[in-house]
């Protein structure tokens, strides 16, 4: 029997939504963020996808390009998505909602990866479509995990307020005794 004096827990889903939105929106004006996202995550992280597209584009003999492209997408998203989700779990020590989101995302990426690899035998095009959609979600997960990282911010919180950090500070230490 449930104790009627217990109050329901507060709904923290709106807070989680705001956190996720902030993590996606905040770095949009940061060139270092875009550089890392485009070159590090999409170009270099997706190198297998690009190689398979080149094989398809040049119609190289002895290869079945559709299988290669499908496999490349279906192995790209768990690598990027799960790693980013685990990064979120590791770095967000004080935000239990984000940690729970990261855990749910990593399990989801893993389960969908297993399903798409099994699905490709009987439904290859559906497997490819799911792989592409989840690859986009994996890149979004990377943005969530890295969006508020100080490495992508031009703001220096330790800088003095009200002037250049290169100028000498006013006052002296004369007359100071220890």
The pLDDT tens digits of the residues spanning 22-72 come to 999 999 999 999 999 999 999 999 999 999 988 888 877 766 768 889 999
Count of CB atoms situated within 10 Å of the CB of 166: 5
Q: Which residue has the tokens 């009200």?
A: 162
User: Residue 56: phi, psi to the nearest 5?
Assistant: -70, -45
Q: Kindly give the confidence (pLDDT) of every residue in the chain, 178 residues in length, as a single tens digit, with 9 standing for 90 and above.
A: 556 678 888 888 999 999 999 999 999 999 999 999 999 999 999 999 999 988 888 877 766 768 889 999 999 999 999 999 999 999 999 999 999 999 999 999 999 999 998 998 899 999 999 999 999 999 999 999 999 998 887 765 555 555 666 777 666 777 767 6
- C-beta of residue 32 within 8 angstroms of C-beta of residue 152: yes
Give me the residue spans of the domains in the chain.
31-150
* Class of residue 174 by CB neighbours under 10 A (exposed 0-12, middle 13-18, buried 19+): exposed
What's the pTM? Answer: 0.80
């Amino acid at each position: 029997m449930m104790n009627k004096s217990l109050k329901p827990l507060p709904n923290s889903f709106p807070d989680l939504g705001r956190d996720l939105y902030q993590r996606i929106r905040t770095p949009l004006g940061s060139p270092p963020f875009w550089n890392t996202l485009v070159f590090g995550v999409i170009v270099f992280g997706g190198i297998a996808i690009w190689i398979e597209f080149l094989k398809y584009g040049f119609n190289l003999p002895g290869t079945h390009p559709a299988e290669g492209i499908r496999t490349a997408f279906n192995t790209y998203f768990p690598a990027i998505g799960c790693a980013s989700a685990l990064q979120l779990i590791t770095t967000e020590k004080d935000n239990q909602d984000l940690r729970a989101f990261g855990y749910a995302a990593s399990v989801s990426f893993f389960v969908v990866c297993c399903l798409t690899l099994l699905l490709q035998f009987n439904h290859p095009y559906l497997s490819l479509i799911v792989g592409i959609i989840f690859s986009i979600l994996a890149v979004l997960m990377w943005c969530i995990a890295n969006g508020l990282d100080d490495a992508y911010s031009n703001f220096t919180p330790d800088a003095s307020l009200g002037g250049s950090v290169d100028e000498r500070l006013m006052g002296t230490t004369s007359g100071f005794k220890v």
